[in-house]
Amino acid sequence: MTEELPPPGAVAAYPEPDAATVRELLLDWCGAEPEDADAAVAGLAALDAASRELADRLYQSIAADMGGRKWLPWPTVTEPHSLLGLFPLLAAVPDMLAYHRERGVDEDLSRRVLADLGEKLRFNRRLYGKAGLDVANWFTGHVRGSLYQLGRLQFCVEGPDPKPFVGMHIRGEGGPLTLDAVRDSVEWALEFFPAVFPERYGGPEDMAFVCESWLLDPQLRDWLPEHSNIPGFGALFDLEGPGDAAGARNSVWRFVFSRTEDTPAETLPQENTLQRSVLAGIKADVQWRNRFGRLDLARLGL
């Protein structure tokens, strides 16, 4: 997959961030922890010529597709340094800010979308016990201007032209997934996307929202406690297809237990009702599935 990346310098000179810029962007814009900023500065200094060239090519893939849909299919870039994928993303922040300014997106929203980077650096520490960014390509949606955090939810321009559907994504940090929070976010998105992308959406009536997640698995209703927000969220969607059980192991291990998928079930944490309920299902041989669904706005009263 690396071969498919553009050559170094193909679109624009690679503005490799220096140590001070890395620190400033991570601490002031991404809300990262000082230990992750320190690790990134050390990682930058440790990059050899081949890694710098790869970072340049990754940056070129972003620069070549500003405003493009979804995120880019990068190779996994955690070798030779676990933060290698971070540097081309940080290099692209000025491009993202310029794109946002051009489209009339407030700087406050630019900061909010970058906060996901700080979160995922924290999350990688929980998963692997050290600094890293294992799904760096996810953030190519953020820096190319296709993904926005509007209230509790993230929304990403994903489907085919001319009116791509909008994918809904749920960060771990940001509080409970209440129906009020979901409604507020979707209401915001219905205004935001036609205003920012008028060439795609003439108005709210042009928009369709989809979600693919372990959260949409209807089997969860049988296992989660009454007070759980998750079944209510799942019930907002019309499900399509049988779902994906293989992918769900990765999602459930990652998002419910903050563990990598090779962690044996017997050692998964059981610290709260969500973890205990999902683990009870695993022990009863439930095959959790990632499910795909289309949001029914009427179920939100919209």
Ligand X SMILES: CC(C)(COP(=O)(O)OP(=O)(O)OC[C@H]1O[C@@H](n2cnc3c(N)ncnc32)[C@H](O)[C@@H]1OP(=O)(O)O)[C@@H](O)C(=O)NCCC(=O)NCCS
Query: How near is the Cβ of 226 to ligand X at its closest, in Å?
Result: 10
Cα separations (Å) of 37 from 22, 27, 83, 123? 7, 7, 11, 14
Q: Cβ closer to ligand X: 34 or 172? A: 172
Query: How near is the Cβ of 245 to ligand X at its closest, in Å?
Result: 15
Query: How near is the Cβ of 144 to ligand X at its closest, in Å?
Result: 20
Query: How near is the Cβ of 271 to ligand X at its closest, in Å?
Result: 7
Q: How many CB atoms lie within 10 A of CB 165?
A: 17
| Positions in the binding site for ligand X (CB under 6 A) | 170, 172, 176-177, 213-215, 224, 228-230, 251, 255-256, 272-275
Query: How near is the Cβ of 220 to ligand X at its closest, in Å?
Result: 8
Residue count (the chain) = 302
Q: Cβ closer to ligand X: 21 or 228? A: 228
